[in-house]
Amino acid sequence: MRQPAAATHGRGPHLVNKLSDSRHARASPGGGRRCHSPSTGVAAARLVLQLQFAIVAGQEPVSECSELTVRHLAGVRDRRCSIDVVLIVQDDVCPDVWAGELDEALLRVGHRFGRADLRRRMRDYVRALLGPVGRKNSWQLAEYAGHSAPHGFQNLLNRALWDVDSVRDDVQAYVAERLGEPDGVLVIDETGFLKKGDTSAGVQRQYSGTAGRTENCQVAVFAAYASRRGRTLVDRELYLPKSWTSDREQCRAAKVPDSRGFATKTELARTLVARALASPLPISWVTTDALYGQDWHFRRMLEEAGLGYVVAVPKSQQIKSLAGCWRIDQLIGDAPDDAWERLSCGDGANGPRLYDWAAAMAAKGGTERGPQKRICSRAPHPGRNPKTHGNLPPQGRTITAH
C-alpha cells in the first residue's frame, strides 16, 4: 500500500506560501468516517467517488448509507475535486489509515505553533483545504470546518507568529521517512493561481500554465518528491515579478520582506534544489521542463552535485564538450537506428507514454575530468520535435519512471 502523501498549506506572517496544491493532495472527503478493514475502506472510497460524480451530474444518490457522505460533499461543484478520490481508489488507502497518517503529520508540525488554539486552527485549516470545498477562501473553509466565522483562519494566516520554513523542513523530514528511496526523483515545475484582485503578493497579468494563457495570477515554482513509494510536494518559492520588487511600498502592503529581491524562475529552481539537497530527502535524479532545462547554470549545478537529470530542452539547444558543439536535434538525427530503445516514462491518461532513448559518451569540457554519459530521447511519432536531454550521474544509475 502506498503511503499517503503529506500535504500542508500555509501562509505565514510575511509572505504567501503554498506548500501543496489541494488538487494534488490525497484527501479523503469522508476522512472522518470509520472502516473496519482495508476492503471496506476501498468500498467506502468507491462509494464516495460514485456519489461525487452523481452530485456533479445533478443526480440523486441512491445508497441508503450515503447521507453522511452527501453532507461531506455538499461543496462539490466541479470535476476537479474528483481527482482526490480517484487517487484513493487507485492506492487502496483505508480512510482510517489515511486519517491516522494525517494526524501524525499534523502532530509533527504542531510544535511550530506556540498556542493550543493556533494548533487547533492549523489542523482545521489543513483538513478543510484537503476537503471538498468548491472555493477555498476563508469563509468557505471556516464553514466546512464548523467555525461560525473565518476570523480564526484569517488570524492564523495574517497575524499569528509561526515559521513557515520550519514547517516545510518538518514536512520534508516526514516525506523522507515515509517515501524516501535511494533513487528518489526531485521534480521542478511551476504553476499559477488565478486571481481577480491586485493585492496578493506577486499578482499581475502573466502566463499561467494552469490556464494555458496570460491571466491575472500569481506564479510559484514548486518542488515535488517522487519514489516507488509515492509522491508529494515538498517545497515552494513564490515568483515576484520586477514590477513588484521595484515597488517596496506595494511589497510591504503585501507583507513581503524588504530583503526579498527579484529572482528569475530558474534562480528559484536552483534555490529549491539546493534546499532539497540539504534536507533528509534522498535524491538521485532531477527532472523538469524546458524553461529550466535550457538553463546552463541549472544543469551545471546538478552535474556538480553528482545528480542525474532528465530535462526538456528546445531542439536548438547546444551540447558542448571538448570534442565540439552540437545542436540537440543534430545529435538525435545523427544517431544510428540501433542506438535507440523504446521505453515508457510512465503511464498517462491514454496508456504508456513511449519515447525512444539513446545514450552516448561525451568528454567533459572545462576543468572537469573523465567521460560523461549523456542521454537523449525523441518522440516515437514522425514529425514531433525531439526535446529531451539528460545526464547520467557518475554512479551510473539507471532511469526509473515514477
pLDDT tens track, the chain, 402 positions: 444 333 333 333 333 333 333 333 334 444 443 334 433 343 333 333 333 333 333 333 333 333 333 333 333 333 333 333 323 333 445 666 788 888 989 999 999 999 999 999 999 999 999 888 888 889 999 999 999 999 999 999 988 999 999 999 999 999 999 999 999 999 999 999 999 889 999 999 999 888 889 999 999 999 999 999 999 999 999 999 999 999 999 999 998 999 999 999 999 999 999 999 999 999 999 999 999 999 989 999 998 999 999 888 888 888 776 667 878 888 788 888 888 888 887 788 888 888 888 877 665 554 444 445 666 776 665 444 445 556 655 544 444 333
| Rg, the chain, Cα only | 23
Calculate ∠ Cα 185-28-155, nearest 5°.
Answer: 90
Where in the chain are the domains? 38-158, 164-285, 304-391
Strands 204-208, 213-227: pairing kind: antiparallel
Torsion sign over Cα 322, 328, 330, 336: positive
Closest CA to 43 of 88, 77, 82: 88
Closest CA to 293 of 232, 360, 374, 200: 374
In angstroms, what CA-CA distances link 101 with 27, 94, 117, 143, 201?
11, 11, 22, 24, 32
3-class SS at 218? strand
Residue 394 has which C-alpha cell? 557518475
Residue 39 has which C-alpha cell? 476492503
Instruction: Return the DSSP state at 59.
Output: P
In angstroms, what CA-CA distances link 179 with 3, 122, 173, 266, 282?
7, 24, 10, 26, 10
Q: Distance from CA of residue 317 to its chain's centroid?
A: 26
In angstroms, what CA-CA distances link 246 with 202, 268, 338, 368?
12, 18, 54, 39
**pTM surpassing 0.75?**
no
Residue 371 has which C-alpha cell? 567521460
Calpha distance 26→77 (Å, rounded): 18
pLDDT value of position 388: 58
Closest CA to 76 of 52, 40, 100, 92: 52
pLDDT value of position 357: 83
| Amino acid at residue number 169 | D
Closest CA to 312 of 402, 377, 265: 377
In angstroms, what CA-CA distances link 182 with 91, 113, 291, 346?
22, 32, 27, 19
3-class SS at 214? strand
DSSP result, 322-341: TTEEEEHHHHHHHS-GGG-E
Residue 92 has which C-alpha cell? 487502496
Q: Is 204 left (phi over 0), alpha (psi -120 to 50) or beta?
A: beta
Closest CA to 347 of 402, 295, 398: 402
Name 367's Cβ contacts closer than 8 Å, sequence gap at least 6: none
Backbone φ and ψ for 289, nearest 5 degrees, come out as -95, -175
Calpha distance 214→280 (Å, rounded): 37
Cβ(47)–Cβ(69) below 8 Å: yes
